Structure 1
């Protein structure tokens, strides 16, 4: 298949389908094939980061900026988040744009020009300050606020921040509690004013998650319960493997889907998830009442239809959709064949049926390999037992590892086959597709044979034969 992929890149877009639906058949192989990229560089440089590594990476980014700008660290973090942790873009905007606008757009107070609050808090003669949230008075040491100057009691601040963090899931974008003030709360203020350790931990997780989500060179591992992230030097359609063992595409985050490009896979997933094919089935197997347009499926041989819609009850002919009453008259033309009208109706119906049949052909095979892949993962348990059994037949632990390697390769083949049906669905019908399908057939045949070998009972008599066949096939 390697030699054919370059020619796919030069093929025309689309597919000569009966529907001529560009949304359904838009294949245009305009990205370089994965194997060509692999030839350019043997390794795709990336590293796995734990939560501690991620926090340290954040700190390093902040220190890099502060070595140039010398700003408060909390302000720097908010600025970096505003620019999606793009250090070069932040520095460029800082030196090129109006400084006051630069800080205002990021919703932070300019540390070089802190404004004075126009409406200063009222301080009664008793020396107490009034909190504008709970309207109670407190000593100045129980009141606090941000650089914008708005001050509230520590209890109201704590409740406000706890609600924003725990109920609204906000971290980087918590604004001042004052009405119409969009200055963001910094992390030092949050840590100081939130008393509950559980809320502080949640806030730290939100900050960390926002850092990864905003940074185009970072992506969380999508595996369940994994808290690691992958860091790359440049974004590309390439597989990465987390330390938990999960392999996924860094560009889109889906399971590794070679040979399908990310944009095509996204289109396929959307096609499978929405109701477009349900609509196709309805159009191919049902008709609408000519009076009220309710969809009706025929479930008997009689062509005299009565609409079940209680407000309609219209009598019509299933064949011609005309009113049923004149069908007994000698002058009515239901039996007369109108070439043009019949051809148009037949062609429309056939296009829908053909489109649905084609989609189901690829979808069923895609789902079949997905289901088989789940079974192959369960095969590891039975293979482990076989490996232990083989060690009892005077084979060393190293000698029986070929079985585990065979299951690894079998799972990889199943996953590849699964995505080849997505790839084929969007390909233009030409000689390249025929070559691709021949390669697909060979891989399918070899995969099924390997799967059969691994599911056989291993005895001392057939041990040598099974090992040889398994090794030959997975090679």
Structure 2
């Protein structure tokens, strides 16, 4: 059985009951609108085209290494679908070692067994009265109802079917299903899976898992992150460039996140991790609690009185200065006096945590505000569409009212850029270039807010001419300020002008 004849059957999610793979005519979208194709060329592939691409790569490698198609697929998956690396390694190193690392039986081992006229004896199967005992269910079945892999382990077809169905449907495994025998890591090939399975839904799920593995492992392919989209972006090389799917979603090809210019993928990953983990909870605890000066127990103040009594060691101390409470009633005790020398010598860990938390919240709040505004701004498309229809009823052509949609497009682009400028600024060390960046950021933010106000106004026939001119002028200005900001950041990247803070 060939992989392109059986494994790829029923690959279309919309035709689960079809028995043959239907090859559709290529329908690819190259290079996102408004972008120079030479800068980052890419294609948008449908699921059928992804399967065809996978089969073509398997055939290409198979013609060189001359091994079965299903074995070739497992090897390619082991090498992350880097066919050049697979072919080079196959001929320049020990092939047996490659097959062992990929959890396969080497063809040379099978040839040696054939030449010596020996057979791999079934393991864990005992012949009784002309029948075999399945080592999983311990049922006695005829030999024709037994099946196994080249490792020699054989079990009854019923147990194999249940085992494969469980792995595929319950555990979501496809390319990493190993032999059902205990402690055997030989992978089950596609031919065996398709021969043993009879349920079309299980077969379809297996095919989708194999296809998904192909995309996930291939560095030149990336799923569109839009839910239920199903399209794949194919690039000619890996780069942190924006790509636009056929569904209209634009994202970064390198990391798969929404397009995040001007911040780099590595910095964005740090920011997302910082927002997701519990580090800020720890900062809050450090900023709002103190340790008992005697036993170091963590104490949170829940009243106005500064006289604290540790519940653990019963030590009386002052919440403000952390000194013993007893001398606070004496006239000579200076709890209210700021010790400049002590402040210069060291800042407490609590003060550092509080300052770090305040700084994080400053940038996080602005990041989240622009994210929320972007979500709300997207709702403007509905109201703008109504306004455009209303304008067309007052002797305005379809072309004349397109300035509103263009303005909302610019507004959303500016919001998304501003949102990520605060991620960039959070990690940026202060210098002359950062001051220029913040000035550009301020100018873009002010222009964006003004454009947003114009678009949210009630547009009537009386004020249409005035509003139209203001919206068009402000849209052009926002685009200009956004380009200035991005150009400055990119020049900083090219000339290595940006310096980043450590340990945040």
Q: 1:81 aligns with which of 72, 77, 80?
A: 77
**Is residue 130–residue 138 contact of structure 1 (8 Å, CA) maintained in 2?**
yes
User: What TM-score does the superposition give when structure 2 sets the normalisation length?
Assistant: 0.81
**Is residue 197–residue 203 contact of structure 2 (8 Å, CA) maintained in 1?**
yes
Corresponding residue of 2:227: 224
- CA distance change for structure 1 residues 302 and 172 in 2, over 3 Å: closer, same or farther? same
| Distance apart, 1:318 and its partner CA | 1.8
Residues 416-427 of structure 1: pairs in structure 2 closer than 5 A? 416-427=417-428
- CA distance change for structure 1 residues 459 and 194 in 2, over 3 Å: closer, same or farther? same
- CA distance change for structure 1 residues 384 and 323 in 2, over 3 Å: closer, same or farther? same
Q: Aligned to 1:195, what secondary structure does the other structure show?
A: coil
What whole-Å deviation, never above 9, does each CA across 1:140-178 have from its counterpart, x for those lacking one?
Answer: 221111122221111000011111112222110111112
Q: Distance in 2 between matches of 1:373 and 1:390?
A: 25
What whole-Å deviation, never above 9, does each CA across 1:425-462 have from its counterpart, x for those lacking one?
Answer: 22221221111111111211221111111111111111
What whole-Å deviation, never above 9, does each CA across 1:115-136 have from its counterpart, x for those lacking one?
Answer: 5435554333x32222111111
Residues 148-163 of structure 1: pairs in structure 2 closer than 5 A? 148-163=151-166
| Distance apart, 1:219 and its partner CA | 0.8
- CA distance change for structure 1 residues 343 and 300 in 2, over 3 Å: closer, same or farther? farther
Residues 299-378 of structure 1: pairs in structure 2 closer than 5 A? 299-307=302-310, 309=311, 311-325=312-326, 327=328, 340-341=341-342, 343-344=344-345, 350-378=351-379
**Is residue 122–residue 154 contact of structure 2 (8 Å, CA) maintained in 1?**
no
| Distance apart, 1:282 and its partner CA | 3.2
1:431 pairs with 2:432: yes
| Distance apart, 1:46 and its partner CA | 0.6
Instruction: Provide structure 1 residue ranges, at least 5 long, that are not aligned to the other structure.
Output: 1-37
Aligned CA-pair RMSD: 2.4
| Distance apart, 1:137 and its partner CA | 1.3
What whole-Å deviation, never above 9, does each CA across 1:390-424 have from its counterpart, x for those lacking one?
Answer: 01111122221221111111101100011111112
Q: 1:122 aligns with which of 117, 123, 126?
A: 126
**Is residue 259–residue 423 contact of structure 1 (8 Å, CA) maintained in 2?**
yes
Q: 1:175 aligns with which of 133, 153, 178?
A: 178
Corresponding residue of 1:194: 197
| Distance apart, 1:68 and its partner CA | 1.0
Q: Aligned to 1:202, what secondary structure does the other structure show?
A: helix
Q: Distance in 2 between matches of 1:314 and 1:163?
A: 61
**Is residue 307–residue 318 contact of structure 2 (8 Å, CA) maintained in 1?**
yes
Q: Distance in 2 between matches of 1:282 and 1:153?
A: 59
Corresponding residue of 1:270: 273
**Is residue 122–residue 152 contact of structure 2 (8 Å, CA) maintained in 1?**
no
**Is residue 169–residue 202 contact of structure 2 (8 Å, CA) maintained in 1?**
yes
Corresponding residue of 2:55: 59
Q: Distance in 2 between matches of 1:455 and 1:208?
A: 46
**Is residue 258–residue 416 contact of structure 1 (8 Å, CA) maintained in 2?**
yes
Q: Distance in 2 between matches of 1:228 and 1:40?
A: 22
Corresponding residue of 1:408: 409
Q: Aligned to 1:321, what secondary structure does the other structure show?
A: coil
1:255 pairs with 2:258: yes
Number of matched pairs: 435
Q: Distance in 1 between matches of 2:441 and 2:426?
A: 13
Q: 1:101 aligns with which of 76, 81, 97?
A: 97
What whole-Å deviation, never above 9, does each CA across 1:320-345 have from its counterpart, x for those lacking one?
Answer: 32443465578978678766445446
Corresponding residue of 2:445: 444
What whole-Å deviation, never above 9, does each CA across 1:305-359 have from its counterpart, x for those lacking one?
Answer: 123x4x4443222233244346557897867876644544656555444333322
| Distance apart, 1:55 and its partner CA | 0.8
Q: Distance in 2 between matches of 1:385 and 1:395?
A: 14
1:293 pairs with 2:296: yes
